[in-house]
Amino acid sequence: MSFLNAMKGLQQKFQDKEVGANNLGKLVSHSIISRFDSNFINQFIVAPNQGTPSQQPGPGKKITLNPDTQNYIPVIYGSAYTSGIITDATMSADNLTMWYCITISEKTGTFIDGTDSTFSFKEVYYEGLRLTFKDDGYTVDLAIDDDGNTCDTYSGLMEIYPFSIDSDEPTGFTTESAQNNLAAYDLMPHWDIYDTMSELNFVIVKVKYNADAEITSLENLQFKVENSMKNVGDVMYDYSTNTRYGAGIPEDDLEIS
């Protein structure tokens, strides 16, 4: 610290000329309490570039999926609405059932205290209508609009299976008491045990074709999700240290207190 010591001597000369307790620093009349708002978290949510279905004349509806292989998987902290990214799809031999895999977000790490963060699926919306489920917890029952009106147009035509962490970790919607217990690779017809969707939160959606109900593609499906990790300190710690989706700063380089 040699150059600082030399500066100390120079500073002493200043002091000799200007001694006085009031020169110690500036007077302040109030303190500024800075705080982050959880809204800043939104900058980490990346809007995906989603392929759009196309329609052509003729029986049925031609759906063209155009997933972008350069999409970044979002990291979601706190609560958010998201449509996710379609990363796989398949259709039954009779052309009447489609399966989609929709990737929602990365599974986040641990809180500063070492406990795991948890990810939950709160609600699901189809064409702006909130969906409820039958007793099994995954088959769509009713659709509810903003005024509380209900309709059963989609009843039994869609099945929605949320997963948290990976394909072996089925979960349910927090509004439902029941949930699917099958692994994702036992649901998606062409998947096997190596389709593990490692460290991802995702949804498998089964859609049955029904022209009368206007279910001819996967339209505007949106999920309300929530990550238990939402406090600024935990979020900054997680995003700073994570090597998969964050800055990858070594933990030892961070001052955590």
Partner 1 sequence: MGTQLNLDSYPSLLANYTVQWTCPEYLTTPTGIPQHEELLFTDDIYPLERDGFTFTPVGKLLSITPSTSSIRGATNSITLTLSGIPDTEIGAVLYSNIKGNIVRIKRYLWDSETAQIQLPSVGSVQGRFFGYIESYSVDDDYDYYGRSQTVSLTLNLNSWVDYLSNNFNARQTNSESMKENFPDDTSFDRVSALKDTEFNFGAPRSQATTNGRTTRPISGSGGVWV
In the range 111-150, which residues lie near partner 1 by CB under 8 A? none
Question: Which is closer to partner 1, CB of 59 or CB of 114?
Answer: 59
Question: Which is closer to partner 1, CB of 137 or CB of 167?
Answer: 167
Closest CB 140 distance from partner 1, rounded Å: 17
CA distance 106 to 84: 11
Contact 99, 189 (CB under 8 A): yes
Closest CB 232 distance from partner 1, rounded Å: 8
Contact 174, 183 (CB under 8 A): no
Question: Which is closer to partner 1, CB of 19 or CB of 251?
Answer: 19
Length of the chain: 257
145, 150, 219, 244: which one binds partner 1 (CB under 8 A) = 244
214-215-219-225 Cα dihedral, nearest 10 degrees: 120
Closest CB 19 distance from partner 1, rounded Å: 8
Question: Which is closer to partner 1, CB of 32 or CB of 251?
Answer: 32
- Strands of the sheet containing 150-151, edge to edge, are 79-82, 221-227, 119-126, 129-133, 140-144, 150-151
CB atoms closer than 10 angstroms to residue 193: 10
DSSP class of 74: P
199 binds partner 1 (CB under 8 A): yes
Question: According to CB under 8 A, which residues from 18 to 57 bind partner 1?
Answer: 19, 21-32, 34-37, 39-40, 43, 46
76, 77, 80, 101: which one binds partner 1 (CB under 8 A) = 101
Question: Which is closer to partner 1, CB of 137 or CB of 237?
Answer: 237
